[in-house]
Amino acid sequence: MKKIIKGASIVTESEVFKADVLIAGETIEEIGTDIECEDAEIIDAEGKLLLPGAVDVHTHMDLDVGIARACDDFYTGTVAAACGGTTTIVDHMAFAAEDVSLMHQVDVYHGLADGNAVIDYGFHGVLQLMNDAKLKEMVDISRREGITSWKAYMTYGGNMINDEWLFKIMKVASEEGLVIPAHCENDALVEVTKAELGAAGKVQAKYHPQARPALAEAEAVSRLLYIAKEAGEAPAYVVHLSSEAGLKEVMKSREAGQQHFGVETCTQYLTLTDAAYEDDQEGLKAIMSPPLRKQTDIDALWKALSDNCIIDTVATDHCPFTFKEQKQAGKDDFRKCPNGAPGVEERLPVMYSEGVAKNRISLPQLVKYCCTEPAKVFGIYPKKGAIMPGADADIVIMDPDAKHVLTIDDMHGANDYTCYEGFNLTGRIEKVFSRGELIVEDNRFLGSKGSGRYLKRGTTSLV
Ligand code: URP
Ligand code: ZN
């Protein structure tokens, strides 16, 4: 059955124009004015916006962090994503509990996602306890399984990747065109400060941001980019950039002529401040790494987005733990709280409302950061992230003027809170199509468990 979406304004990363979209099966067949097609179902979208299904390249569904397991599995988490207009995720794997092959976690993640996800998905591999055999395995898996990005944590205990291995990994990444997403925080600054705070009895949530200062991020960003450059301009990718200090380090590298790397920020670093930690109980909800920062950081991040420089993508780092139970592990000591917060359902509506409706970014920039660039950087463009003939018919119909208040009661994940409770939003998602199938209408999920497909990813746009 064919479908024609009529009368909407199509948004791409570079323009907004009025046209009809003809969907044939799973893909977009034609874009044009007054498309006619006998027997096609007509979807009236007069006055609405048509966005590409959004692509969230930083989620942690079903993440096992040892002390807790993220409360969204690949079913509930992707239902939430879909209801928030996201039709593709690239999920970051958990560390394996033991020193096993890199393929071990790939198999574990297929076990978690296949048959559960309701939207299409890929995986970033995770690097830990490195040795020469694993370096070779990284290349073999990326060629065979289409896992063309491998996460390196520059902090996080025994699983942290030290500079020696970071350099070796980057050299291989440079030769193979593999993206290395890196969690950038200086491990010593974080661990020593955490220990000092603990010894002084400063263990309430409000001390969390002190334990993970912006300069810890800035130092690691700078080091990552120098190492990537020395390794032959390897395609490094800074995940969840949170601070102005970090931004300045990125700027230095760009000004020095380094181009082949990517930078991601997340919705929470653009919209929430460290005031979230003032209340010891409520503050647990926002315990995440890196922590929320100051208004000056937020302003600097929006400016970078608006100037089309430095930042490539906006993701979520969706890593939900329930407030009533899981987050309470940190009630007497923030260091025992599982780190992470939800956000996959909120990203597109909040970015539209806080970004476009408040004139901080344009509509094409919204699509660039939330849809098209993530797909390009992680090797799934133009199948994903674009409304164009031949692309998958992943489409969001949005009413640009509708207003509503964001509340957990209207949301679809497994969590019991949202960090954006009470946000007054402009713009509302009306319909979401995944490969041509209507999976969300008026905030109701209509899709089916397991209909998401694994994405073998290709080459990054960063090379
Ligand atoms: O606090 C966070 N970000 N938790 C998720 C795991 C990670 O560090 O990415
Ligand atoms: Zn993460």
Ligand 1 atom nearest 339 alpha carbon: 1
Spatial CA neighbour of 85 closest among 124, 58, 50 = 50
One-letter amino acid for residue 161 of the chain: I
Q: What is the pLDDT of residue 333?
A: 98
The full length of the chain comes to 463
Strand pairing class (9-11; 2-6): unpaired
Nearest CA to ligand 1 atom 8: 289
Q: What is the pLDDT of residue 138?
A: 98
Question: Residue 234 burial (CB < 10 Å; 0-12/13-18/19+)?
Answer: buried
Strand pairing class (86-92; 120-126): parallel
Pocket (CB within 6 angstroms of ligand 1): 60, 183, 288-289, 317, 319, 339-340
Question: Do 134 and 102 form a contact (C-beta atoms < 8 A)?
Answer: yes
Q: What distance in angstroms lies between residue 92's CA and the mean position of ligand 2's atoms?
A: 7
Distance of CA 3 to the CA centre of its chain: 30
Nearest CA to ligand 1 atom 2: 340
Nearest CA to ligand 1 atom 6: 340
> What is the rounded distance in angstroms from the CA atom of residue 253 to the CA atom of residue 351?
27
Q: What are the pLDDT tens digits along the chain (463 aa)?
A: 899 999 999 999 999 999 999 999 999 999 999 999 999 999 999 999 999 999 999 999 999 999 999 999 999 999 999 999 999 999 999 999 999 999 999 999 999 999 999 999 999 999 999 999 999 999 999 999 999 999 999 999 999 999 999 999 999 999 999 999 999 999 999 999 999 999 999 999 999 999 999 999 999 999 999 999 999 999 999 999 999 999 999 999 999 999 999 999 999 999 999 999 999 999 999 999 999 999 999 999 999 999 999 999 999 999 999 999 999 999 999 999 999 999 999 999 999 999 999 999 999 999 999 999 999 999 999 999 999 999 999 999 999 999 999 999 999 999 999 999 999 999 999 999 999 999 999 999 999 999 999 999 999 999 9
DSSP-assigned letters across all residues of 96-107: PSSS--HHHHHH
Q: Which residue has the tokens 């593709």?
A: 88
293, β-bridge pairs: 273
Question: CB neighbours (10 Å) of residue 173?
Answer: 28
Which one is the CATH code of 3-51+388-399+426-445: 2.30.40.10, 1.10.10.10, 3.40.640.10, 3.40.50.300?
2.30.40.10
Residue ranges per structural domain of the chain:
3-51+388-399+426-445, 53-377
> What is the rounded distance in angstroms from the CA atom of residue 251 to the CA atom of residue 46?
42
Of all ligands present, the nearest one to the C-alpha of 320 is 1
Q: What distance in angstroms lies between residue 345's CA and the mean position of ligand 1's atoms?
A: 17
Of all ligands present, the nearest one to the C-alpha of 68 is 1
Q: What is the pLDDT of residue 222?
A: 98
Tokens linked to 96: 């394996």
Strand pairing class (395-405; 27-32): unpaired
Strand pairing class (236-238; 262-266): parallel
Nearest CA to ligand 1 atom 5: 340
Spatial CA neighbour of 78 closest among 440, 463, 458 = 440
3-class DSSP state of 352 = helix
β strands within 85-175, DSSP E: 86-92, 120-126, 150-153
SS (H, E, C) 185-227: CCHHHHHHHHHHHHHCCCCCHHHHHHHCCHHHHHHHHHHHHHH
CATH, domain range 53-377: 3.20.20.140
Q: What is the pLDDT of residue 1?
A: 87
Residue 138 parent element (H or E)? helix 132-145
Q: What distance in angstroms lies between residue 294's CA and the mean position of ligand 1's atoms?
A: 19
**End-to-end CA separation in angstroms for the chain:** 39
Ligand 1 atom nearest 153 alpha carbon: 8
Q: Which residue has the tokens 């950039």?
A: 241
Nearest CA to ligand 1 atom 9: 317
For a ligand 1 pocket test, name from 317, 337, 419 the mutation site with the most ligand atoms within 8 angstroms of its C-beta.
317
Ligand 1 atom nearest 60 alpha carbon: 5
Q: What distance in angstroms lies between residue 60's CA and the mean position of ligand 2's atoms?
A: 6
Question: Do 47 and 311 form a contact (C-beta atoms < 8 A)?
Answer: no
Nearest CA to ligand 1 atom 7: 289
